[in-house]
Structure 1
Amino acid sequence: MITFITGNEHKVIEAENIFQIFGVKLEHIDLGYMEPQGTLEDVSKFGAKYACQELNRPVIVEDAGLFIRALNGFPGTYSSYVQDSLGNENILKLMDGIDDRYAEFRSVIGYCAPNSEPKVFLGRVKGQIAHEERGNLGFAFDPIFLVPEEGKTFGELTTEEKNQFSHRRNSLEKFINWYVSQDDE
């Protein structure tokens, strides 16, 4: 069983769905902590180490962000704050008149076990910023993140559909593959 530290219920639902695919049980604990400013990797390492020390057991945390090329990677590591303060409507206003719509969602899983240093696992999914919000599924930037191969935004995909290829799926899959391989050693 893996302990997932997050206060975000949407992340829990997605992670449970992904862990189920791989037959790994997931426990959820909401353990609030101050996040340092830095890269997704920095935040994930810090959170995993902090939670591991507090609970004295192996844990994972996740930090994720939306990186828009035309906005020099904004909102990036500030995605949660930007979502809360600006929202999708204002991101679309910032993108008004911009032809380069390339964006990627990135997810970093931080894992730490007692008496060890944290490890990180990066996942990403490439897409574009839509010209308008589409769909009411998912959360945060999902209605404006268009996956060209699907012809839909994350907001138009069910959790199960999104979890087939999302940034979170990619990072969690890398972690799970590494984690189960540790039993073989």
Structure 2
Amino acid sequence: MIKLLFVTKNEGKVRELEALAANYDIVIEQVGYDYPEIQADTLEEVARKGAFHVSRLFARPLIVEDSGLFIERFGGFPGPYSAYVYKKIGNRGILKLMSRVRDRKATFKSVIAFCEPSMQPVLFTGSVEGTIAEKAKGKGGFGFDPIFMYNGRTFAEITTEMKNSISHRRAAFDGLIRWLLENKDVSAI
């Protein structure tokens, strides 16, 4: 069994990766460390810097993940600022901003950064296309899930299993797993 250190305080992300990792006989070991998250124009830069920082502190291979909601009509906003926007205005605020907008196309994007001590992070990206709902729906998920629609339902209306089969985080995690299996002695992680 492989243990993969995941540095995050976001329990929702941990639950999703734990479910995905179980398919590969990998245990996700969460470290709830609040590392300094830079403000940058891309998720890739945020994940890269975060992984590089925490890999020096913990001195072992690990992952960090950054994700964002990119609304096409707003030029990709909130994008890499999604966590901040969610804390400040939440789903209600996004829906208010979208109240008179017809083009509701949006993308959820995830970047997972794998980093070993004294190495540069390796990045894995995933995305899923959808739209912003007219109103929040569903009781599942977390964050923007109640307003992100995929095939007629919000991420908060579908089961965790269904979300994990199609999500942005799933695509990024699958990329990580393929890379680990091809490039690393996974028993040493």
TM-score, length of structure 2 as denominator length: 0.93
Structure 1 residue 80, shift from structure 2 partner: 0.8
SS in structure 1 of the partner of residue 165 of structure 2: coil
The correspondence for 2:133, drawn from 124, 130, 139, is: 130
SS in structure 1 of the partner of residue 177 of structure 2: helix
2:173 aligns to what?
172
Structure 1 residue 78, shift from structure 2 partner: 0.9
1:14 aligns to what?
16
Which whole-Å deviations, capped at 9, do the CAs of 1:19-51 have from their partners, x for residues lacking one?
A: 112222221111111111111111111111111
SS in structure 1 of the partner of residue 100 of structure 2: coil
Quote the Cα distance in structure 2 between the aligned partners of 1:157 and 1:36: 32
The correspondence for 1:67, drawn from 56, 66, 70, is: 70
Quote the Cα distance in structure 1 between the aligned partners of 2:134 and 2:36: 34
SS in structure 2 of the partner of residue 138 of structure 1: coil
Structure 1 residue 70, shift from structure 2 partner: 0.6
Specify the code of the residue in structure 1 equivalent to 2:18: E
Which whole-Å deviations, capped at 9, do the CAs of 1:152-178 have from their partners, x for residues lacking one?
A: 100101211100010000101100110
SS in structure 2 of the partner of residue 78 of structure 1: helix
Matches within 5 A, 1:104-183: 104-148=107-151, 151-183=152-184
Quote the Cα distance in structure 2 between the aligned partners of 1:36 and 1:183: 29
Quote the Cα distance in structure 2 between the aligned partners of 1:69 and 1:63: 19
Specify the code of the residue in structure 2 equivalent to 1:135: G
Matches within 5 A, 1:23-102: 23-38=25-40, 39-102=42-105
SS in structure 1 of the partner of residue 39 of structure 2: coil
Structure 2 residues without counterparts, runs of 5 or longer: none
Specify the code of the residue in structure 2 equivalent to 1:128: T
Quote the Cα distance in structure 2 between the aligned partners of 1:4 and 1:158: 23
SS in structure 2 of the partner of residue 2 of structure 1: strand
Quote the Cα distance in structure 2 between the aligned partners of 1:73 and 1:13: 27
